[in-house]
Structure 1
Amino acid sequence: MKSFIDNNGYNINVSSYSKNTINEIINDLTVFPYVMDQPKEETEKSKFNIYRYNEDKTYLIIPRYYGLHKLGEPEKTIFNPETINIKFVYQLREKQMLIATKCINYMLKQGGGLLSVPCGFGKTICALYMASILGYKTLVITHKSNLLSQWVKAIKNSLGLTEDRIGIIRQKKCQIENKDIVVGMIQTISKKDYKDVFNKFGFVIYDEAHHVCSRFFSKTLLKTGAKYTLSLTATPRRTDRLIKIMYWFIGGTIYRESAKINKNVIVKTFTYKSTDEWKFALKQRYFNGKNRPNTQKMVENLCDINTRNSLIINIVNKIIVLDSKRKILILSDRLTHLQILKKGVDRFIKKNKIKDLYTCHYNGATKSGERLLIEENGDIIFSTYFMCSEGVSIDHLNTVILATPKKDVEQSVGRIMRTVLETGDVRPMIIDICDDLPCISNWIRVRNSTYRKGQYDIENYYVTDNKIMTQYEYDNGKEITDNIHSSNMYVHKSINEFNKNINEFNDLFKQCDKLFNIKKKYVNETVYNDMEYTNLNDILFERSLTENDIIRTVVKDTPTDIIDFEEDGEEDNDKIYKDKNYKEKIYKDDDIDNSNSFVKRNLFIKKLNI
């Protein structure tokens, strides 16, 4: 046979293709992580293969979707997975149902692909719904133990499965027999050799799939091919340029939202500098013949600056006093830094005899039982970026403090936008400590790009040591001694919003001038307060949301969704849903036995004329 697809991938008979074609494929599938200015010999050492031969070396096995793109349809497709009958007992939101339907439709025709939606959308629940429709034994692959626990919990809640129907692959555990859904750790699967074990699965879900592209984790992809595959990630990108591996093995983009707009989010940036000239300074190291910024050392030094830590502690303490509804997540790169911050906050709580406030560490050392308690009841959570970068589901959070500098904060910011906002809720708030240092200050632009993409309100403040000052004072080093504010924070917020609205009107009038050459009378703005806030009470006060702030036609108070369909996932939604009663026909027909997944899948295929 010249070529065929099975659980291993796309198999090609070496003798049926020219040497040039085989060499070209091998060259394409010998990859390496991109590292800027890396010497050639280091690049050669970092190369690895994402292909393999069968035992007698007659067939070259390559990634399924790379093979389809390069060589076209194979002569045969061979899959013999186990079937399961499971019932989905959870209620999807309308938008979740539409996207899950699109994914199923795509997989039935193409086999596999990427679902990329923002944090908090409900990727896990959508994927489990797809598993119930497809009706095949399902494998979920994840990279963190807390994510494994979350998947098991979601399986129980949404599918009603008991422990004896859920398998685990982790360390010495390999529970596959008589299991409907198995959740496996990518570290274990990559490391161990499982002969033909994964042939039983008909649907494989890769959680946080951008991780599978690394040298070690990509070994999992060579073992876990299936009839249907789904990659899940809110951030389908990698700085080492190896994201192509995910697409080659799992499939192209089915549905992707490149940004989530939430106009109710407020960002407060504190541009910071310290008078400690030793710790608050550019540090360099000699690497590959050049002096380069040593950002790890710089971050370490920032964590040791007492005045900077005092600023963060004061911010947390003020939030506690101003609004008891605020549930705060403090993120840092260093555990020792988090311990310092927690001690300062705990001291304030004890001194002021504040009751019923649960402060806690949430990191890799936190036991699973304690994690569940924190996820449900934590008021002020101190955690690392790594721990909270992916998959952590703490729905009640609404405030995040970025206590050490970070370039990409998209996942971290997503931690505070996991629920539908209602009247009376507090605005989600991001506190961003922007260190005014070479190299690190460049990361601020990347973070601001994320904020602007989401159309967040951004307010800028300036701090030297732990003293908040005006931009004029910050830039010129001169102190303004006058009392620049009254104590009424409500008045200041109203004035600020009024001035902002007037500026927006004037901008619109200017656009009219350009478009129609018609002179409009500008609104005469009375500048009630041309000074800046320098008091934490003023800065951190935010009113609760009113009915006017809430847009109820879409998920999570979002006026529009920016949907980025890539070419390989382009689909005409109107064609699928042109029948107004389409959803009722598929999901509400009384003559369907909802416990039988094959009936559901076959009906699905029939309705879509596949």
Structure 2
Amino acid sequence: MIAQARTSTLILVHRAVLVDQWRDTAIRFLGLKRKDIGIWRGRAPRITHRLDVAMLPSLARVEKPGAVLAGYGMVIVDECHHVPAASFEAIMKACPSRRVYGLTATPKREDRLEKLMFAQCGPIRRTLNEEPATRARLVKVRATTIALPAGPGERSPLHELWDALVRDEGRLDIITTDLMSCVADGRSPLVLADRKNYLERLEQRFASQAPEVTRFRLDGLVGKKARRDVLQKIDGHYSESRPFVLFATASLIGEGFDLPQLDTLVLAMPLSFKGRLVQYAGRLHRSHEAKRDAVIFDYLDENHPITQAMFRRRLAGYGEMGYRIEMPGTETPMGL
């Protein structure tokens, strides 16, 4: 699109990792040199007015963003579902370009403010499917029977539910067994959880069962350089066909995370918002020559109405993405 437009282009992102990804991609596909691509990150921008990548938080500090944006014939907003944020929306309102494009894998927002995104970036014009429809997609559901706390009216605060999930030894054993099965099958699963203490317990439990298997960790305590090192080591394991397990907090596996070899996802904690489910499952949908299928392990904590309702929402999301569901006690997948 950038090559065809033949006009000055500004790419807007909200995270530093996306700046680097866009620059590297432009060098690879457009034949540009590093010096040909302008970067606006922090308070010392270096822009070319030909192809520039700018962070929205940096532009938000500019007194008159419209003057900065006026020199571009085309503006591309990556992860444009963040546009409804007040400071980002103000930037888009000041944008005079007639060619504005938004890119996102999650056009639906949990707060239902996507209409603000559409107002600034326009309606959905095209939907891309990253994987051929013929590639198998399977969800393996595991049922847990842990006793979850119930508050007044069978409702209890979420933090109490999650505390109970984190403490339960039986649930840890179920997930660990699945990880062992994945590794035995030659898979390298990505284990996602919102709580770092749960990741630690899962990693410790798995290490006690399979100390010979390499483990990687990505969470808020891992710096940018260390993250790059982890991803480089993971590439090495893939090239040598050595299975591993990647334990990560969900926030680090969303926007900007790119590991196309991934084929197995373990959702260690419940979630309900379809946008997050689509984003996390999307880590498995990237094309790669060695990938034969996409498998998600999902855990149904069936002894509480909240976790049951969250599971039903996930089922609907899986169905829309073309997954088949293997329920507990069934040997063959069944369609939704």
- Shared fold (TM-score, shorter chain, > 0.5): yes
For 2:139, give the aligned amino acid. V
Classify the secondary structure of the residue corresponding to 1:389: coil
Q: 2:258 aligns with which of 393, 400, 404?
A: 393
Instruction: Check conservation: 1:259, 1:454, Cα contact below 8 A.
Output: no
Q: Cα offset for 1:364? A: 4.0
Code of the residue aligned with 1:390 in structure 2: it is E
Please name the residue that 2:199 is paired with.
338
- Give the TM-score of the pair, scaled to structure 2: 0.85
| 1:333 to partner: Cα distance | 0.7
Q: Give, in whole Å, the separation in 2 of the partners of 1:395 and 1:305.
A: 33
Matched, 1:266 2:125: no
Q: Distance in 1 between matches of 2:221 and 2:29?
A: 29
The question of whether the paired residues in 1 share the 8 Å contact of 2:189 and 2:263 is answered with yes
Deviation (angstroms), 1:291: 10
For 1:191 and 1:139, how far apart are their aligned partners in 2?
A: 17
CA distance in 2, matches of 1:283, 1:163: 58
Counterparts in 2 of 1:557-572, with a 5 A limit? none
> Which amino acid in 1 is paired with 2:222?
T
Q: Secondary structure at the match of 2:149?
A: coil
User: How far apart, in 2, do the equivalents of 1:259 and 1:165 lie?
Assistant: 29
Are the equivalent residues in 1 in contact too, given 2:60–2:87 (CA < 8 A)? yes
1:231, distance to aligned residue in structure 2 (A): 0.4
CA contact (8 A) 2:254 2:280 kept: yes
Q: How has the CA–CA distance of structure 1 residues 262 and 301 changed in structure 2, closer, same or farther, with 3 Å as cutoff?
A: farther
Instruction: Label 1:306 to 1:323 Cα distance change in 2 as closer, same or farther (>3 A).
Output: same
CA distance in 1, matches of 2:140, 2:258: 24
Q: 1:451 aligns with which of 311, 318, 325?
A: 318
Structure 1 residues 374 and 294, CA, compared in 2 at 3 Å: closer, same or farther?
Answer: same
Partner of 1:269, secondary structure, is strand
Match of residue 323, structure 1, among 185, 204, 213:
185
Q: Secondary structure at the match of 1:428?
A: strand
Instruction: Name the residue aligned to 1:441.
Output: 308
Measure how far apart 1:323 and its partner are. Answer: 1.6
- Checking the alignment, whether the CA contact within 8 Å between 1:167 and 1:182 is kept in structure 2 is yes
Alpha carbons 1:262, 1:454 under 8 Å: kept: no
Q: Is the 8 A contact 1:402 1:432 kept in 2?
A: yes
Q: Which has more radius of gyration? A: 1
Q: What's 2:239 paired with?
A: none
> Is 2:54 the counterpart of 1:193?
no
After superposition, the CA RMSD in angstroms is: 2.8
CA contact (8 A) 1:212 1:218 kept: yes
SS of 1:239's equivalent in the other structure is: coil
Partner of 2:238: none
Secondary structure of 1:414's partner? helix
Percentage identity across paired residues of the two chains: 24
Secondary structure at 1:253 match in 2: coil
Question: Partners of 1:296 and 1:209 in 2: how far apart?
Answer: 30
In structure 2, give the amino acid aligned to 1:363. Answer: D
Q: Distance in 1 between matches of 2:205 and 2:285?
A: 27
Contact 1:295-1:440 at 8 Å conserved across structures: no
Letter paired with 2:324: D
Distance of aligned partners of 1:207 and 1:297 in 2 relative to their CA distance in 1, 3 Å threshold: farther
Measured in 2, the distance between the counterparts of 1:315 and 1:266 equals 14
Does 1:230 pair with 2:101?
yes
TM-score by length of 1: 0.49
For residues 192 and 293 of structure 1, the distance between their equivalents in structure 2, rounded to whole angstroms, comes to 45
Separation in structure 2 between the aligned mates of residue 259 and residue 446 of structure 1, nearest angstrom = 23
1:383: which partner in 2? 248
Give deviations 1:100-149, integer Å, cap 9, x for gaps: xxxxxxxxxxxxxxxxxxxxxxxxxxxxxx11221222211122222222
| C-alpha distance 258-149 of structure 1, shift in aligned 2 (>3 A) | closer
Choose from 302, 307, 315 the match for 2:165: 302
| Matched positions, count | 320
Matched, 1:312 2:175: yes
With over 3 angstroms needed to count, the CA separation of the structure-2 counterparts of 1:263 and 1:154, relative to structure 1, is closer
- The answer on 1:149 being equivalent to 2:15 is no
Aligned pair in 2 of structure 1 residues 165, 259: CA closer, same or farther (>3 Å)?
Answer: closer
1:539-554 to structure 2, matched below 5 A, reads none
